[in-house]
Amino acid sequence: MAVDETVRQHKYLLDESQMPTAWYNIIPDLPEPPPPPLHPGTHEPVGPEDLMPLFPMALIMQEVSQDRYIEIPGAVQDIYRQWRPSPLFRAHRLEKLLDTPARIYYKYEGVSPAGSHKPNTSVPQAYYNAVEGIRKLTTETGAGQWGTALAFACALFGLECEVWQVGASYDAKPYRRLMIEAFGGEVHRSPSDLTNAGRMLGANPANQSGSLGIAISEAVEAAVADPTVRYALGSVLNHVLLHQTIIGEEALKQMAMAGDTPSLIVGCTGGGSNFAGLSFPFLREKLAGNINPRILAAEPASCPSLTRGVYAYDFGDTAGMTPLMKMHTLGHDFVPDPIHAGGLRYHGMAPLISHIYELGLMDAEAVPQTECFSAAVKFARTEGIVPAPEPTHAIALAVREALKAKETGEETVILTALCGHGHFDLPAYDAYLNGRMEDEAVSDERFASALSTIPVM
Ligand SMILES: *Cc1c(COP(=O)(O)O)cnc(C)c1O
């Protein structure tokens, strides 16, 4: 076969001096403020003092900040520069394979030391805890990405790091655990017998594969038990979404370099942080009337909190220890099937994303995992990057839309977040390539049973 000389790899790079120096807080730009988190006992809005056993004051203040821009500390910028600004690519070869007139761009976050977007927030979180004299951080991890990113950041700031890894992922992904340990972190399989929550929830055989909700209960319990320890969350909260906006701020500049404007921005949503990180700066421009992209969340069919959950106050964890957050939720004791995209197995959704969805400023679609991996393999064989299982959901929707553009002839410019590589997720590719991957349909009864546990307000 002749070599095709017409396809050129287009890579849009910023230099270090163009790296954004502030994160973007979308809250003051929204037409209505998001509902506040509530105290689980009193149902009154939580104050900063309620959160002090969990987070350092600097992050609590970011959580409730009304400032549009928050400066990135110099020490954090120095670490970001190890891999930032990250590249934006035009997927010419994928477009050619799909024979589509659509133009597809992807912002690649797999270049970070952890292989995903997670260090964009783990580094500032470790920094603010270190500045406030904290000794150790606890956390949960689903796919292992967040645990890896936090262990990396803790190592840089001299903090200890203790991680509860969701059982199914602990069993399936020994390499993620080993990477956390290489960075100096300590890893437990969740549910564990180290916490009351783990012992109580682990007694139910249905919980043996674990869930993010259970692992969060364990990590929170361990943090509040010791005043020198705090808890770190890798998604969902306002300050986490805030830190990820550096992705979209860079992508805005890179799309301008490419001379193109997205008509569709699509990202996968577990708790919503990489999606928010890419889309919020573009949403700012949309709210200002400068551009008008459709903003689309891709969620797994087996854990579809936006498309099949309800918008209600619910707990962020399974044992009911966190504040109540108004969000799209499947119910805090929903245990999703052990699909390969472990990072998307969360019963809830970021309150900020949920609010923006309710305001009608974005859409969501659910995708079954075999369609995701079919798209991922096309992507890998044309673009040369093996995606993590989570962003394959966004790639699948990008492929759907690119094929639609072929039918309608409508000008379509797609921007997606390739938020991580899949080098530690190759067993998922093994299952797909060897015909062992299934799309499990979640019954209405199972959704209904989990939804019935949402607190009545
Ligand atoms: C953690 C993770 C996710 C899911 O979390 P979000 O907060 O929704 O971004 C998605 N993709 C990758 C690669 C992850 O590591």
* DSSP letter string, 279-297: HHHHHHHHHTTS---EEEE
- Give the atom of ligand 1 at the shortest distance from the alpha carbon of 236: 7
Q: 3-state class of 402 per DSSP? A: helix
pLDDT at 4: 74
Closest by Cα among 116, 97, 94 to 107: 116
pLDDT of residue 173: 82
Rounded Cα distance between 400 and 296, Å, is 12
Specify the CATH class of 26-35+50-73+118-234 in words. Answer: alpha beta
Predicted pLDDT of residue 442: 85
Which residues, including other chains, have CB under 8 Å from residue 270's CB and lie 6 or more apart? 142, 235, 341, 343, 344, 345, 346, 390
Question: Tens-of-pLDDT digits for all 457 residues of the chain?
Answer: 667 777 676 999 999 999 999 999 999 999 999 999 999 889 999 999 999 999 999 999 999 999 999 999 999 999 999 999 999 999 999 999 999 999 999 999 999 999 999 999 999 999 999 999 999 999 999 889 999 999 999 999 999 999 999 998 899 889 999 999 999 999 999 999 999 999 999 999 989 999 888 999 999 999 999 999 999 999 999 999 999 999 999 999 999 999 999 999 999 999 999 999 999 999 999 999 999 999 999 999 999 999 999 999 999 988 888 899 999 999 998 888 877 887 888 889 999 999 999 999 999 999 999 999 999 999 999 999 999 999 999 999 999 999 999 999 999 999 999 999 999 999 999 999 999 999 978 888 888 999 998 988 8
Give the integer Cα–Cα distance in Å for 204 and 317. 16
Residue of minimum CA distance from atom 15 in ligand 1: 145
* Distance in Å, CA 401 to ligand 1 centroid: 22
Q: Name the residue ranges covered by the structural domains of the chain.
A: 10-18+83-115+239-437, 26-35+50-73+118-234
Compute, in angstroms, the gap from residue 149 CA to the centroid of ligand 1.
11
So what CATH class is 10-18+83-115+239-437?
alpha beta
Q: Which of 86, 141, 145 to mutate to test the pocket of ligand 1 (most atoms within 8 A of CB)?
A: 145
pTM of model > 0.95: yes
Select from 216, 235, 345 the residue to mutate for testing ligand 1; criterion: most ligand atoms less than 8 Å from CB.
235
Pocket test for ligand 1, best of 369, 416, 419 (most atoms within 8 A of CB): 419
Atom of ligand 1 nearest to the CA of 420: 13
**To test ligand 1's pocket by mutation, which of 274, 305, 393 has the most ligand atoms within 8 angstroms of CB?**
274
Q: How many CA atoms lie within 13 A of 249 on its CB side?
A: 21
Nearest CA to ligand 1 atom 7: 273
Distance from C-alpha of 350 to C-alpha of 235, rounded to nearest angstrom: 7
**What spacing in Å lies between the alpha carbon of 409 and ligand 1's midpoint?**
33
- State how far the alpha carbon of 130 is from the alpha carbons of 56, 57, 144, 174, in Å: 9, 12, 23, 29
- From 112, 139, 344, mutation site for ligand 1 pocket: most ligand atoms within 8 A of C-beta: 344
Ligand 1 center to 117 CA (angstroms): 7
Name all residues whose Cβ lies below 6 A of ligand 1: 116, 118, 143, 145-146, 234-235, 268-275, 343-344, 388, 390-391, 419-420
Q: Whose CA is nearest to atom 13 of ligand 1?
A: 420
How far is the C-alpha of 262 from the C-alpha of 283, rounded, in Å? 11
Peptide bond into 227 cis (omega under 30): no
* CA 234 to ligand 1 center in whole angstroms: 8
pLDDT at 342: 78
Q: How far is the CA of 44 from the centre of ligand 1 (A)?
A: 31
d(CA 105, CA 254): 10
Query: Which residue type does 153 have?
Result: A
Type and span of the H or E element at 311? strand 310-315
Sheet holding 294-300, edge to edge: 10-12, 88-90, 103-108, 413-418, 264-268, 294-300, 363-367
- DSSP letter (8 states) at residue 130: H
Tell me if domain 10-18+83-115+239-437 and domain 26-35+50-73+118-234 are identical in fold: yes
Q: How far is the CA of 391 from the centre of ligand 1 (A)?
A: 8
The closest residue, in CA terms, to atom 5 on ligand 1 is 270
Residue 196: exposed, middle, or buried by beta-carbon count in 10 A (0-12, 13-18, 19+)?
middle
Ligand 1 centroid, distance to 274 Cα (angstroms):
6
Q: Which amino acid residue places its CA nearest to atom 2 of ligand 1?
A: 343
Indicate the burial class of 83 (C-beta count within 10 angstroms; 0-12, 13-18, 19 or more).
middle
